[in-house]
């Protein structure tokens, strides 16, 4: 209404100063505020920051609008009221809204950058501690076994096996560290949109099952029965899915673990659920991962779950853990998907799955 009112004034005003101050300036300010809403809504800023920008814009409009209203009230009490007081108040409010929007954008961007720095610092702290701890322990074991090999002729096979196991552990930690380094370095100026890809969750899960089935022939897998499920996520999502499923196999029940992977619709998103029959992830570990940082009293032993959590964060997805007496369930819920076929919409059932061995037969 005020914008239309100011546009109407252009057809009746003749004084150039009045035209500029009473119509052109408010119209330009209001147009800029309206035009800025689209890039703000599409920016990587979280809804809380977007609301903060809106609040600053509204505060600017109210502040200058109130000042203009006080001016009009004062002038009216002293004599004839100003010509077109509504123009004065709404014009000042539109200018204040633009000033508030500018300040709000600057404030939100600074806070967003600060949050990014704090998050990266927390991630680097975890990475540094785990690397120091795991490398020191593994190298101590390797050094001791090598010394034993040089001093004794017997027991060589056992010591060599221990050395090989610790070398494999170091290689695993190194690979996790490399991927985490890629995650930390992937945060561009426009957020997670700078590094985003489209992948088919069904193909990713099938690929992980094929690899793990070769490495763990005694394990049994239930694959998603869905035909396709294409989601937008971080490029390392494939590594994350593989990490979750491998964790389920390694920590599953006994020598023949059973791992079930299913995909289903949940609300406006899709969820990948990986369930195993193992003892479950310790509650302290889950709490530390969900908190997002470690303390001197609460920390984890590896990097795998940190990699999962941080890639999920970069994908605008959600990571949930469910533990019961029958096993552990890890769920990754993706909010942005492009295509699904055969994906169930049940809110409770895990959805149909196909036994990998049966499917192969």
192 or 51, greater pLDDT: 51
Average model confidence (pLDDT) across the chain: 71
Domain match, 133 and 259 both: no
Determine the pLDDT at residue 53.
Answer: 76
Residues 267 and 166 in one domain: no
> In this structure, is residue 10 part of a structural domain?
yes
Which stretches of 20-46 are DSSP H helices?
A: 25-42
Residues 78 and 149 in one domain: no
Ranges of H-type helices in 79-155:
85-151
pLDDT of residue 41 exceeding 50, the answer is: yes
Residue 43's pLDDT band (boundaries 50, 70, 90)? low
158 and 221, same domain (yes or no): no
Same domain, 171 and 200: no
pLDDT at 8: 45
| Lowest-confidence pick of 72-81, 95-104, 121-130 | 121-130
Shared-domain flag, residues 180 and 81: no
Q: Is 70 exceeded by the pLDDT of residue 106?
A: yes
Least confident of 19-33, 79-93, 154-168: 19-33
**DSSP one-letter code for 21:** I
Average confidence (pLDDT) over 350-359: 46
Model confidence pLDDT, tens digit, residues 293-349: 655 544 455 677 888 888 888 888 899 998 877 788 999 998 777 666 666 665 444
Q: Is the pLDDT of residue 102 over 70?
A: yes
Q: Mean pLDDT over residues 115-140, rounded?
A: 66
Rounded Cα gap, residues 281 and 250, in angstroms? 12
Q: Is the pLDDT of residue 350 over 50?
A: no
Q: Same domain, yes or no, for 211 and 171?
A: no
- Round to whole Å and give the CA distance between 294 and 290: 10
In a domain, residue 123? The reply is no
Overall domain count for the chain? 3
Q: Which residue has the higher pLDDT, 149 or 197?
A: 197
Decide which of 180 and 237 is more confident.
Answer: 237
pLDDT at position 71: 78
What tokens does 91 get? 């014009």
165 in a structural domain: yes
Q: Please give the residue range of the domain that contains residue 226.
A: 196-360
More confident residue, 335 or 147: 335
Mean pLDDT of 173-197: 59
| Domain assignment present for 68 | yes
Whole-angstrom distance, CA of residue 94 vs CA of residue 68: 11
pLDDT computed for residue 272 by the predictor: 92
Among the ranges given (28-42, 183-197, 273-287), the one the predictor scored with the smallest mean pLDDT:
183-197
Tell whether 207 and 352 lie within a shared domain: yes
Q: Do residue 226 and residue 346 come from a single domain?
A: yes
> Which pLDDT score is estimated for 35?
61
Angle at 207 between CA 312 and CA 181, to 5 degrees: 40
Instruction: Write the CATH number for 212.
Output: 3.30.565.10
For residue 97, pLDDT beyond 70: yes
Residue 189 domain-assigned? Answer: no
Tell me: the pLDDT tens digits for 254-294? 778 889 998 888 877 888 999 988 888 888 888 888 777 65
95 shares its domain with 162: no
How large is the average pLDDT for residues 190-195?
A: 48
Burial 150-186 (b: 16+ CB within 10 A, else e): eeeeeeeeebeeebeebeebbeebeebbebbebbeeb
Q: Is a pLDDT exceeding 60 seen at residue 207?
A: yes
Same domain, yes or no: 266 and 210: yes
190 lies in some domain: no
Query: What's the pLDDT score for residue 332?
Result: 93
Q: What pTM does this model have? A: 0.53
For the segment 4-28, the average pLDDT, to the nearest whole number, is 49
On whether residue 240 sits in a domain, the answer given is yes
How many whole angstroms separate alpha carbon 148 and alpha carbon 133? 23
Residues 149, 282: one domain? no
The pLDDT of residue 91: 72
| Phi, psi of 276, rounded to the nearest 5 degrees | -130, 175
Please check the confidence at residue 215 and state whether its pLDDT lies above 60: yes
Give the least confident one: 93-97, 143-147, 197-201: 143-147
Phi, psi at residue 81, to the nearest 5°?
A: -70, 155
Residue 121 lies in a domain: no
């Amino acid at each position: 209404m005020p914008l239309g009112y100011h546009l109407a004034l252009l057809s009746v005003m003749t004084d150039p100063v009045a035209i500029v101050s009473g119509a052109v300036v408010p119209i330009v300010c209001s147009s800029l505020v309206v035009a800025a809403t689209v890039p703000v809504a599409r920016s990587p800023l979280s809804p809380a920051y977007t609301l903060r920008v809106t609040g600053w814009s509204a505060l600017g409009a109210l502040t200058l609008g109130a000042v203009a209203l006080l001016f009009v009230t004062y002038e009216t009490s002293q004599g004839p009221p100003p010509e077109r007081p509504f123009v004065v108040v709404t014009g000042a409010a539109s200018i204040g809204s633009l000033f508030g929007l500018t300040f709000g954008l600057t404030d939100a961007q600074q806070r967003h950058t600060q949050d990014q720095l704090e998050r990266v610092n927390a991630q680097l702290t975890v990475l540094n501690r785990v690397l120091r701890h795991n490398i020191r322990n593994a190298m101590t074991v390797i050094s001791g076994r090598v010394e034993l090999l040089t001093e004794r002729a017997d027991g060589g096979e056992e010591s060599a096996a221990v050395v090989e196991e610790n070398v494999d552990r170091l290689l695993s930690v190194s690979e996790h560290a490399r991927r985490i380094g890629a995650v930390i370095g992937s945060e561009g100026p426009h957020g997670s949109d700078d590094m985003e890809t489209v992948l088919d969750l069904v193909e990713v899960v099938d690929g992980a099952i094929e690899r793990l089935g070769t490495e763990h022939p005694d394990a049994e897998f239930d694959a998603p029965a869905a035909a396709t499920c294409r989601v937008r996520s971080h490029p390392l999502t494939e590594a994350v899915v593989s990490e979750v499923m491998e964790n389920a196999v390694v920590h599953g029940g006994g020598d023949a673990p059973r791992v079930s992977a299913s995909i289903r619709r949940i609300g406006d998103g899709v969820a990948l659920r990986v369930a195993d029959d193992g003892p479950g992830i310790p509650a302290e570990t889950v709490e530390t991962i969900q908190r997002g940082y470690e303390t001197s009293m609460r920390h984890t032993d590896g990097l795998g779950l940190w990699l999962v959590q941080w890639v999920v964060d970069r994908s605008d997805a959600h990571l949930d853990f469910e533990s019961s007496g029958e096993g552990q369930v890890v769920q990754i819920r993706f909010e942005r998907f492009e295509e699904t076929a055969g994906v169930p919409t049940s809110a409770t059932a895990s959805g149909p799955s196909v036994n990998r061995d049966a499917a192969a037969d």
